[in-house]
Structure 1
Amino acid sequence: MQKIFFEIQIDAAPEKVWEVLWSDMTYRQWTTAFTEGSFYQGTFEEGSTMKFFDPNNNGMYSRVEKNKAHEEMKFLHLGEIYNGVETEQDWGEATEAYILEETETGTILKIEIQTPEEFKEFFKEKFPTALGIVKNLSENQL
């Protein structure tokens, strides 16, 4: 399992950054960095299962491990979805956490990922672009 960290300073309150990360409309915007047309189904309640899809309805499903509004969201990735069929994967503790820390000028958004080696380069390539979009949306949307 590989650990990867990303961090970005955003000149907006944690509440605004949180809204950009998890509201349907803006989620669809910042996740274009990974796959154009990405969306989710489910609720972000702790213990619930979220499904993350590409425009072809393929993707992955994850359990919400932690949801502390405006502070931290953490997912445990459980498996893949292809053609509507969920297939459990033995990824161990494959997690993705979004941590928001309030600062004098806004928010530091930290991403902590534990991933199998096979996904490491994908995340290292795509997450900086995604965080740039989150920053832009958080600082420039009314």
Structure 2
Amino acid sequence: MEKLHFDIDIDAPAVAVFNAITDKKKYVEWSSAFNPTSTFEGGWEKGDKIHFIGTNKEGKKEGMVSRIKENIPYKQISIQHLGFLDGDKEITEGPGIEKWANAMEEYFLEETNGKTKFSVSMDITEDFKDYMSNTWPKALEKLKEVAERG
């Protein structure tokens, strides 16, 4: 696995950016860059299990099973990916899981004079590298719009 890094400067305080990430209504808006049906179920507190969900082309629910490893409000969120969601079934072991199980995705917020530098660091496998390299910059632009709107 390798690490990908992305960042964007947002003309909004860290609290607005943090809320845009964790508020379900706002999350749905900016994460639509990954899948127009993107949402989440679960919580953002340290130790919480969270499902990052979308609907595939056949209308079936799928996504990621993850756990919040760290949540320092307005500073950092660290997400550990544990497996896949296939419909309502969590798949946390078996073929395809081992190569990326326990991969980390981390968000860092650094506020200066009411503006926030938002950075993403994520472990990625080769088969998702191109997708994430192309999609994260689009998601960050949407996140910027949502956070700056307040």
Question: What percent of counterpart residues are identical?
Answer: 30
Which of residues 129, 132, 135 in structure 2 aligns to 1:120? 129
Match of 1:61 in 2: 65
Q: How large is the Cα RMSD of the aligned pairs?
A: 1.1
User: Residue 105 of structure 1: CA displacement?
Assistant: 4.6
Q: Is 1:39 the equivalent of 2:39?
A: yes
Corresponding residue SS for 1:36: coil
Q: 2:90 maps to what in 1?
A: 86
- TM-score, with length taken from structure 1: 0.94
Equivalent pair of 1:93/1:114 in contact (CA under 8 Å): no
Deviations 1:110-139 (A, max 9, x none): 000111221111110100000001111111
Give yes or no for contact 1:31–1:38 (8 Å, CA) kept in 2: yes
2:31 is the alignment partner of 1:5: no
CA contact (8 A) 1:33 1:126 kept: yes
Instruction: Select between 60-69 and 49-58 the one with higher mean Cα deviation.
Output: 49-58
* Distance (whole Å) between structure 1 residues aligned to residue 80 and residue 5 of structure 2: 16
Cα distance, 1:71 vs. partner?
Answer: 0.4
Tell me the SS of whatever aligns to 1:58. Answer: strand
Partner of 1:49: 49
Describe the superposition over 1:54-83 as per-residue Cα deviations: whole angstroms up to 9, x where unpaired: 033211111111100010001011100112
For residue 73 of structure 1, what is the aligned residue in structure 2?
77
**In structure 1, distance between residues paired with 2:35 and 2:23:** 17
Q: C-alpha separation between the residues in 2 aligned to 1:72 and 1:21?
A: 11
Task: Report the 3-state secondary structure (helix = DSSP H, G, I; strand = E; otherwise coil) of the residue aligned with 2:61.
Answer: coil
